[in-house]
Amino acid sequence: MVENAILKKTLKIEFWISIFVRLSILGVLIPSIIEKQYMLVFAASSMLIISFVPSIIGKRYQLVLPPEFEIIVSLFLYATFILGEMKSYYFTYWWWDILLHSFSAFILGLIGFVILYTFHYVEKINLSPIIAAIFSFNFAVTLGVMWEIFEFAADQFLGLNMKKSGIMDTMTDLIVDSIGALIGAVMGYFYLKGGDSLIIKRIVEKFVRQNFNRKRKITFSL
């Protein structure tokens, strides 16, 4: 009963946060369309689409995503686009970009851990903690590298300024990504070694239980 009450409250919070963030993005997108600021239209449209990605993935693959995950995605988009770009937090606070990169890498590391832990749980695969940690770390860092490539391409072909200070920005981002990924990987490692983690219990275990308790076959198709 207590768990159901907490879930209901969390779902309500997730709903209103998602609405607030999407309305904030629309508040940028609509004036940008009217004023024909096409770069801003592209950026705002991308953020708006990304805000629906968790729901789309859940429906497409019949997965129950923890509301905490969708809250994290919504808040991250708000911090990145509305505060970072529109409110100039990237320029006002030197640590803003570092904070967001380290946090995103940490979350991606946990997502990598969830992927491997799911196969461990469903298929009863013997999962080595060190292998799980390495996979989680590499998963997060690889996505971080892909993001840097995207930023470079956007600057070159769309005339944006995502790289800002050039090579220093890229290297700082990659180093911070690696640190965030390492923290997530280490948490996963010690959890598999018999440790306790509120984050993993709250999000990872709940996700696996809700979706794969009946040993549903994992099938993904493009």
CA atoms of 143 and 177, how far apart (whole Å): 9
So what's the pLDDT on residue 162? 60
So what's the pLDDT on residue 198? 66
So what's the pLDDT on residue 62? 79
**Reported confidence tier of residue 222, pLDDT bands at 50, 70, 90:** very low
pLDDT tens by residue, 131-149: 888 999 999 999 989 888 8
Lowest mean pLDDT among 71-75, 94-98, 168-172, 177-181: 168-172
CA atoms of 221 and 43, how far apart (whole Å): 28
Amino acid, single-letter form, for residue 69? F
Lowest mean pLDDT among 71-80, 136-145, 180-189, 212-221: 212-221
The overall pTM is greater than 0.85: no
Residue 29 has pLDDT above 90, yes or no: yes
pLDDT tens by residue, 91-130: 899 899 889 888 889 888 888 888 787 777 776 777 788 9
Helix H or strand E segment including 26: helix 2-34
So what's the pLDDT on residue 30? 94
So what's the pLDDT on residue 24? 95
Phi first, then psi, for residue 164 (nearest 5°) are 50, -95
Instruction: Give the Cβ contact number of residue 79 at 10 Å.
Output: 18
Q: What mean pLDDT comes out for the span 7-14? A: 82
Report in angstroms the alpha-carbon separations of 52 from 19, 46, 56, 86, 189.
Answer: 11, 10, 6, 21, 31
**Reported confidence tier of residue 7, pLDDT bands at 50, 70, 90:** low
64, 210 contact by CB (below 8 A): yes
Residue 21 has pLDDT above 90, yes or no: yes
Place of tokens 């944006």: 160
So what's the pLDDT on residue 219? 43
CA nearest to 108, candidates 128, 133, 87, 137 = 137
CA atoms of 108 and 111, how far apart (whole Å): 5
132, 184 contact by CB (below 8 A): no
Place of tokens 């967001």: 100
Report in angstroms the alpha-carbon separations of 155 from 3, 80, 112, 124.
Answer: 47, 17, 29, 45
Most distant CA pair in the chain: distance in Å?
57
Place of tokens 């705002």: 44
So what's the pLDDT on residue 213? 65
Mean pLDDT (the chain, rounded): 81
